[in-house]
Each structure stands twice: as C-alpha cells, then as structure tokens.
Structure 1
C-alpha cells in the first residue's frame, strides 16, 4: 500500500465520524437533502449525495431526526430536522470532539 493510499484511508475514517457531527449540527433548521448537501459544501465540507442520503436515513432511524414531506411545490421534498434526542447526542459528540481536538493540538504544540 502506497503512502498516498494510507493517507487517503485515514482521511476517509476521519471524515466519516466528522460528517455525522456536521450533519447534525446543520439540522437545527429544516433542510431537504439537496439543500443540506449545498449547505455542507458551502461550509467546505465535501460530501457526496450517495453518502448524505443514507446517513440521513440512518440518523432518522436511530431517532435523532424527524422528517416531513413538503408537497406544496411541483417536486415533493423531504425535510429533516434534529429532534430533542438528536440535540442531546449532538452536544455529547461535540463536547467529546472539542476535548479530542484540544488534546491533539497540545501534542502538536509540543513539537
């Protein structure tokens, strides 16, 4: 395995966990899938539709999101919104992420 492949493998792992936190963080206001995709990309968080949509379904199945269909437009859209359970989970994940971030930064500050 080349160095480039190793780095790419670790970056994929790092992003996978971070995407959950980013998606939950964005859903304090309702978004439909494509709108959320654009929001994340506007915030420089690269994500593919084939990653986002299964993630949204999984988070909803886990009871962290609610969804509602908007059929007032010509194209029906499913809007997602974080619920109370999702807010508690997001806070716990964010708190842990901040602790890890600070701890890792201290390692690099020592260099």
Structure 2
C-alpha cells in the first residue's frame, strides 16, 4: 500500500502497536506489517522521525536495551500516549463511519458494515 494512504494515521498506528508493551524500531515495523496482513510496509525513514516526534510530545518514552550484543532504543507508551491512542481510535471510527455513509448511502450512518 502506498505510504500516502498511511499519512495522517501513522501516529495512531505506532501508538497502537506499542500498546501491549515496549518495542524497538524494527519490531514496530514488523508489528504493523503483521497486524495489517502485510498490506502496510513502513520504512525506517518514516517511523523513526515519527517516533522521535511522539517522544518529544510526551506520548512515548524510550530507553536503551542490549540484545545480542547490540544496543537498540525501545519505545513505550506513556499515560498521555494511551489517552492519545484512545482519541485516535475515536477519530478513526468517526472518520470511517462518515466515509462509509458516503460510499454506501443506503446504509444509515453508524450501522457499520
């Protein structure tokens, strides 16, 4: 899927895959890819600036871990990040309901698929 399709939703995707617990960058990319059934394939050049921005905003925290003799940064949701994720989910549901109502005008708004 084109990266343009993810634009505007990247923050929510990153926050969602970090909800179960801390992950390092490559594991975040893998989690998004697995959860999307391989449809979403994020690049490191896309996620690392976003992770750093989310950390500056206080939605993520990070620390360093050593695994297999290599140091890597692990990211985790903060309480503010959990609240932001809830807001992202609410916004996503409202957005998809509105789009569905336009694409499927015979179905009343909010009745789902």
**What TM-score, normalized by structure 2, do the two folds share?**
0.81
The residue that corresponds to 1:43 in the other structure is 35
Unmatched 5+ stretches in structure 2? 107-113
1:86-97 alignment runs, 5 A limit: 86-97=81-92
Q: Distance in 1 between matches of 2:41 and 2:9?
A: 11
Please report the TM-score for the alignment, with normalisation by the length of structure 1. 0.83
CA distance in 2, matches of 1:35, 1:89: 21
| 1:74 and 2:69 are equivalent in the alignment | yes
More helix by share: 1
**CA deviation digits over 1:9-49, x for unaligned, max 9?**
xx71x411111111110111110001111111222322111
Equivalent residue, structure 1, for 2:109: none
Match of 1:60 among 23, 46, 55: 55
For the aligned residues, what is the CA RMSD?
1.7
